[in-house]
């Protein structure tokens, strides 16, 4: 009987050490210490022993029972501590600061476009977005560029439908100037001041200064007694707001079919401030946009009487303004989807 009790003790302790959770511990207790457990049944048979063996075997049995009960309580405490550690590891601590999701930022072209709009809005300019798919008559003919005009060579046009003639050809707009005609026809004879931003498309060879798709902003003001002085004042204000209050500006004659007279606007090189450097191609000046007084024929096409109304228009490439403002040397960076470049503008 003594040997049987010792074997039972060793077996029970080994099984208890292998128990991994509290439910298995309870099953072990029932199997060995329960009312029908192995040790309980064995101790009940002590009464069948002789009077001489009974005390010694009974004492050994009680000692083993106490040892197993003590081991049971110790194992329960170990498993409870382990379970608590697991719960703490898996529990969300709401007192800790959360992980911030990665934040994006505005594209540098969008950022620059917003700045341009913010400069012109206080001057009374509203914003209009025309269609990117345009008719030839709006993109060229009504802007004083008939089919045989040599100025059409300036635009490498992307046509998207078979040629129908008489201004019915469909194309991807090459500039935002078609918005001038659409707005004038809609607003005439009321005065207007508007910015026309949007994407333009040309069949260009892509290089550091040219892209086949770019964003342009067209400005148009039509009213009575508008002069070249108004144009110069508005654009000088824009340049100084965008690039610096002390900036010098320069206007020189240039040709655009839809304005008369036409001009190019340049700003003083903000790198060398005059002597000449690589940025300004050693001229001291950087051209930023083209402008001029709206051609009388364009006014007529828009529904305005040039004897009563006058106006000015200007157009600028947003990418060029961004390149100058942020010192970017290659226009292809804007649309290369390189996060190392784009994340600098967050």
Q: What pLDDT is attached to residue 201?
A: 94
d(CA 156, CA 202): 5
Average of per-residue pLDDT across 248-275 = 88
Q: What pLDDT is attached to residue 166?
A: 62
Q: What pLDDT is attached to residue 13?
A: 81
pTM across the whole model? 0.69
Q: What pLDDT is attached to residue 242?
A: 92
Each residue's pLDDT tens digit, 65-77: 788 888 888 888 8
Each residue's pLDDT tens digit, 171-214: 999 999 999 999 999 998 999 999 999 999 998 888 888 899 99
Catalytic residue among 202, 239, 266, 295: 202
Across the chain, what does the average pLDDT equal? Answer: 86
d(CA 228, CA 34): 106
pLDDT of 167 > 60? The answer is: no
Catalytic, 175? Answer: yes
Cis peptide, bond prior to residue 189, ω within 30 of zero: yes
Q: Is there a contact between 63 and 2 (Cβ–Cβ < 8 Å)?
A: no
Q: What pLDDT is attached to residue 182?
A: 94
Measured from the Cβ of residue 221, the count of other Cβ atoms closer than 10 Å reads 21
Each residue's pLDDT tens digit, 84-126: 888 777 777 778 787 888 888 899 999 999 999 999 999 999 9
Tell which residue, 108, 158, 153, has the closest CA to residue 330: 108
pLDDT of 245 > 70? The answer is: yes
d(CA 337, CA 332): 10
pLDDT of 227 > 90? The answer is: yes
Average of per-residue pLDDT across 217-227 = 95
Catalytic residue among 57, 313, 318, 322: 313
d(CA 168, CA 24): 85
Catalytic, 216? Answer: yes
pLDDT confidence of 164, banded at 50, 70, 90? low
Q: Is there a contact between 85 and 29 (Cβ–Cβ < 8 Å)?
A: no
d(CA 276, CA 268): 10
For the chain, what percent of residues have pLDDT higher than 70?
A: 92
Region for residue 165 given its phi and psi (left: phi exceeds 0; alpha: psi -120 to 50; beta: otherwise): left
Catalytic residue among 12, 19, 109, 216: 216
Catalytic, 155? Answer: yes
Catalytic residue among 259, 266, 294, 322: 259
Catalytic, 259? Answer: yes
Catalytic residue among 9, 173, 175, 320: 175
d(CA 342, CA 212): 20
Catalytic, 202? Answer: yes
Compare 35 and 189 and report the one with higher pLDDT: 189
| Mean pLDDT comparison of 12-26, 139-153, 316-330, highest-scoring range | 316-330
Q: What pLDDT is attached to residue 74?
A: 86
Burial (CB count within 10 angstroms: exposed 0-12, middle 13-18, buried 19+), residue 298: buried
pLDDT confidence of 143, banded at 50, 70, 90? very high
Q: What pLDDT is attached to residue 90?
A: 75
d(CA 224, CA 222): 7
Q: What pLDDT is attached to residue 49?
A: 65
Compare 103 and 218 and report the one with higher pLDDT: 218
d(CA 157, CA 120): 30
Catalytic residue among 9, 25, 109, 155: 155
Lowest-pLDDT range of 5-19, 22-36, 46-60, 277-291: 46-60
Q: What pLDDT is attached to residue 165?
A: 61
Q: What pLDDT is attached to residue 100?
A: 83
Compare 118 and 34 and report the one with higher pLDDT: 118
């Amino acid at each position: 009987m003594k040997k049987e009790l010792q074997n039972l003790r060793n077996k029970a302790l080994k099984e208890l050490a292998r128990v991994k959770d509290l439910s298995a511990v309870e099953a072990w207790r029932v199997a060995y210490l329960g009312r029908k457990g192995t040790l309980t049944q064995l101790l009940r048979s002590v009464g069948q022993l002789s009077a001489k063996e009974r005390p010694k075997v009974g004492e050994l049995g009680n000692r083993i029972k106490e040892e197993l009960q003590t081991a049971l309580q110790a194992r329960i405490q170990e498993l409870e501590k382990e379970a608590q550690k697991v719960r703490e590891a898996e529990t969300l601590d709401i007192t800790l600061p959360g992980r911030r999701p990665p934040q994006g930022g505005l594209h540098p072209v969008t950022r620059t476009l917003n700045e341009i709009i913010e400069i012109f809005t206080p001057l009374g300019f509203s914003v209009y977005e025309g269609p990117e798919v345009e008719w030839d008559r709006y993109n060229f003919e009504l802007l004083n560029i008939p089919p045989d005009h040599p100025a059409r060579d300036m635009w490498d046009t992307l046509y998207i439908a078979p040629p129908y003639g008489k201004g019915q050809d469909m194309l991807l707009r090459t500039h935002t100037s078609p918005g001038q005609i659409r707005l004038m026809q809609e607003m005439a004879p009321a005065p207007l001041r508007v910015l026309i931003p949007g994407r333009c498309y040309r069949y260009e060879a892509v290089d550091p200064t040219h892209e086949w798709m770019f964003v342009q902003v067209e400005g148009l003001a039509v009213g009575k007694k508008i002069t070249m002085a108004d144009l110069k004042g508005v654009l000088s204000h824009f340049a100084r707001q965008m690039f610096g209050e002390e900036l010098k500006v320069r206007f020189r004659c240039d040709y655009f079919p839809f304005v008369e007279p036409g001009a190019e606007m340049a700003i003083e090189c903000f790198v060398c401030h005059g002597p000449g450097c690589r940025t300004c191609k050693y001229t001291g000046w950087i051209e930023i946009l083209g402008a001029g007084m709206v051609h009388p024929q364009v006014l007529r096409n828009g529904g305005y009487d040039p004897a009563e109304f006058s106006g000015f228009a200007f157009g600028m490439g947003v990418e060029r303004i961004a390149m100058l403002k942020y010192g970017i040397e290659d226009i292809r960076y804007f649309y290369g989807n390189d996060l190392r470049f784009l994340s600098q503008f967050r």
